[in-house]
Amino acid sequence: MTKLLMNRRRFLHGTALGAAALASPAYLRHGMAQTGGEVNIWTYNNFVPDAFKTQFESETGIKVNIRLVDDQGKQFNLLAAEQPNPTVDILTVAGHRYLQFIDSDLLAPMDTGRLSNWGNINPVFSESDWGTIKDQKWGAPILSGAEVLAYNTEVVSEEEALSWDTLFADKYSQQTAYILQDMMSVLMLARGYDGNMIEYMNDEAEAARIMTEMRDYLIAQKPKVRKYYDGGAEVQQMFVNQDIVLAHAWNGPIATLITDGFPVAMTIPKEGSYGFVYTMNIAKGAPNADNAYLFLNALLSSPEIGANLSRSSGFISTFKDVDQHLTEIERKATSFPEEQLAGLQFFRAEANEMKYRLMDPAVEQIKAA
């Protein structure tokens, strides 16, 4: 994705990396005389760099409270349980949950006019059609991920890893793992269907038929899979322990393995794949909405912060000009060749209600088979 991030405008930066560089620019030149107060943020570990937080606090007098979240489902449940008076101002939502948060009326529309640094986001992410729901923007993209095929380079060749079919090859029987739900979407795409199921919104019979086809295929492949997993830490450990040599995964956890020097690589196979975006959103009824806008604008102000986000998560930064702030291996771990990127499309959530109504029982049946 590095290529996609290339753009015309260039800013002046120091060349130093990491936390030291974060402490340089003044985020809020005109915001020095702020009223203080606080801003409450729900996010993942390391998503808000300490140095940035400290500087933001000292420049604005706004106290930043961070609540660490580890899972989108729990975050959704917590926010729902807090309605109608949430304690949170900004929360981090993953792409597949985006519409669910909006539909449940948990987010406030984002007034991008209040974010002077909105233009620092690569338009591929900030202006894409998935992000605009009900004619409004709801979040600021900060990171992007993709469903990839990851492989142990000492066992599997790159040519083999260019097709999703290898995941089901007899040769690698009992050495593969995947996330069932995600695998079903990807498999639909690989078989020439619409994995977002938007094409079948008016033809539920067809959608059900496709879902059954996928289900039966995965049931037939079940003897060959080592593990249906859920979390990034699991797939990393399975690769390290050599329990598997091939897996469907999100690029973030795999990128972290690559930067740590483990012999693993990933591709976006030739049949194509789906991508998703992490956004920072303002909660509906946020108690400190003004401070939240101030914070987001500061967060978007510099590519170093984008690079830091990318480094700590392994996902691809949505900020312009992050490349120069990443090391060689970090750049490699967060980029794909252009011909592979061409096969990547974003998850769309319009048909999710029908899709998951069909998929959830199918997943149960695969597990029970």
Q: How far is the CB of 269 from another protein (least distance, A)?
A: 22
CA atoms within 13 A on the CB side of 20: 5
Nearer to another protein, 128 or 365 (CB): 365
Number of residues that bind another protein (CB under 8 A): 63
Rounded-to-integer distance, Cα 227 and Cα 49, Å: 34
CA atoms within 13 A on the CB side of 206: 11
Q: Counting contacts by CB under 8 A, is residue 171 touching another protein?
A: no
Rounded-to-integer distance, Cα 7 and Cα 121, Å: 11
Nearer to another protein, 256 or 318 (CB): 256
* Residue selected from 70, 158, 199, 338 as contacting another protein according to rule CB under 8 A: 70
Work out the number of other CB atoms within 10 angstroms of the CB of residue 9. Answer: 8
> For 110, which DSSP code?
P
Site for another protein in 15-44 (CB under 8 A): 40, 44
Amino acid code (one letter) for 283: A
Q: Counting contacts by CB under 8 A, is residue 212 touching another protein?
A: no
CA atoms within 13 A on the CB side of 231: 7
Q: Counting contacts by CB under 8 A, is residue 217 touching another protein?
A: no
User: What residues have CB less than 8 Å from 127, skipping those under 6 apart?
Assistant: none
- The burial class, CB within 10 Å (0-12 / 13-18 / 19+), for 273 is buried
Nearer to another protein, 96 or 320 (CB): 96
Nearer to another protein, 69 or 292 (CB): 69
Nearer to another protein, 4 or 358 (CB): 358
Q: How far is the CB of 294 from another protein (least distance, A)?
A: 18
Chain positions contacting another protein, by CB under 8 A? 40, 44-46, 65-71, 73-74, 76-78, 80-83, 87, 97, 100, 103-105, 174, 181, 222, 225-228, 230-234, 236-238, 240-243, 253, 256-257, 259-262, 312-314, 356, 360-361, 364-365, 367-369
